[in-house]
Amino acid sequence: MTILEEIPLARPVLGEAEEQAVLDVLRSGQLSLGPRVPAFEQAFAARIGGVHASAVSSGTAGLHLGLRAVGVEEGDEVVTSPFSFVASANAVLYERARPVFADIDPVTLNLDPVAAAAAITERTRALLPVHIFGYPADVPALEAHGLPIVEDACEALGAVHGDGVAVGARGNPAAFGFYANKQLTTGEGGMLVMGSGEHKVRVDSERNQGRAPDMGWLDHDRLGFNYRLSDLACAIGLAQLDRLDDMLAARAQVAGWYRAALARLASERGLVLPCEDFGGDRRGWFVFVVQLPLGVDRDATIMALREVGVQSKPYLPAIHLMSLYRELYGHRPGEFPVAEEVAERSVALPFFPELSESQVTRVAEALERVLTAA
């Protein structure tokens, strides 16, 4: 029997440029609070078309500081999506505010603007749309409410709204994430992009223990956090930015191969593929998540794929049904039926820029065999 090489879920593209960038920082002796931080911020803001950017230790840290910047406080409500990575709702809890969930659109899997509008009350302080799986959320529709918006763009680098504005460049604080599976990685890290100079001053202070820019080493005029990103990470980020176009193009190509390879399972067996771009929106490809045909046992499918060397995982569980959120707010199944059904059927397949066409074929054939046997 031939032992096939295992196909991982994700793998970053790192090369000599990143190695050299790290070496340069090590040799400079300035590992933090050095020149690579503003250099990465400015290059990232320019790339997105945003005005200001603050490098932070994670996407979650960016969301937290973004929510604080728009004034979210204890007792406030923030309307958001239950179909997201848990960090987007957790960031609201950090401020003792309440994430109020609204159901998602069954096609884009993003917050449904009509459901979001219905969830707004007099206590709503902000809206927190998530550009899930890199597909642009309908932020223009949400902007009509005149409430502050904080965007979770952690999965959406490279995405563009239908009106031509890049995701993250609308002026609302928008958090990007640089964990190792993301379109651009610094290992761990994030960037908050924003239009307001006042927000930038506040965020820069709060990521650095509440220190004001013109103050001495130990003078802190507000509560802050240690959400800094190191020069080592920023140097890697700068090298990654140089290859971003190629990495995004490679991801889009892999997605195209998957679409072709899975077309028959989609049309004949009820496998649901990620939605195609429409209305001028452009996805920034992050993951390739399919919804299994109704009635198929997901755990068994994932196990069967693993046996033939294909990694996959459930992605994502609905946040409101996690134990913490059930305990805090008494959430129960049935509240957000679209999000719940999608969450139960979704599986992430291997997806990264260097995935080859033959590996995509192997994944598709393995899935076809498993679903035919099911």
Q: Which residues, other chains included, contact 249 with Cβ-Cβ below 8 Å and sequence gap of 6+?
A: none
Is 81 a binder of ligand PLP (CB under 6 A)? no
The encoded tokens of residue 156 equal 């959406």
User: Contact between 85 and ligand PLP (CB under 6 A)?
Assistant: yes
Q: Smallest distance, Å, CB 369 to ligand PLP?
A: 30
Confirm or reject binding of residue 177 to ligand PLP (CB under 6 A): yes
- Of residues 241 and 296, the one with the C-beta less far from ligand PLP: 241
Cβ partners under 8 Å of residue 113, min gap 6: 138, 141, 142
For 84, the token pair is 């997201």
- What letter represents residue 342's amino acid? V
Please say whether the beta carbons of 345 and 302 come within 8 A. Answer: no
Asked if 152 is part of the footprint of ligand PLP (rule: CB under 6 A), the reply reads yes
| Interacting residue with ligand PLP among 179, 336, 351, 352 (CB under 6 A) | 179
Give the whole-angstrom CA distance, residue 350 versus residue 251. 11
Pairing of strands 288-291, 313-314: unpaired
7 binds ligand PLP (CB under 6 A): no
Q: Which stretch binds ligand PLP (CB under 6 A): 148-156, 164-172, 321-329, 347-355?
A: 148-156
Provide DSSP, 179-221: BTTSSS--BS-EEEEES-HHHHHHHHHHTBTTB-TTS-TT-B-
Residue nearest to ligand PLP (CB): 59
Which one of 87, 97, 255, 318 is in contact with ligand PLP (CB under 6 A)?
87
Within 302-331, which residues bind ligand PLP (CB under 6 A)? none
Q: Toward ligand PLP, which CB reaches closer, 61 or 100?
A: 61
135 binds ligand PLP (CB under 6 A): no
- 113 or 177: whose CB is closer to ligand PLP? 177
CA dist., res. 26 & res. 206, Å (int): 26
Q: Does 54 bind ligand PLP (CB under 6 A)?
A: no
Residues marked as catalytic: 182
CB 116 within 8 A of CB 142: yes
Classified as helix, coil or strand, 166 is strand
Which of 154, 169, 271, 349 binds ligand PLP (CB under 6 A)? It is 154
Find, among 35, 23, 3, the residue nearest to 308 by Cα.
3
- Cβ proximity to ligand PLP: between 152 and 206 the closer is 152
Q: What are phi and psi of 41, to 5 degrees?
A: -60, -45
* Contact between 82 and ligand PLP per CB under 6 A: no
Cβ proximity to ligand PLP, 62 vs 350, nearer residue: 62
Q: Does 190 bind ligand PLP (CB under 6 A)?
A: yes
Where are the alpha helices (H) located in 262-289, listed in sequence order?
263-269
Closer CB to ligand PLP, 58 or 291, in the complex: 58
Which span sits near ligand PLP by CB under 6 A: 83-91, 289-297, 327-335, 341-349?
Answer: 83-91
What CA–CA distance (Å, rounded) separates 374 from 359? 22
The residue ranges that bind ligand PLP (CB under 6 A) are: 58-60, 84-85, 87-88, 130, 152, 154-155, 177, 179, 190
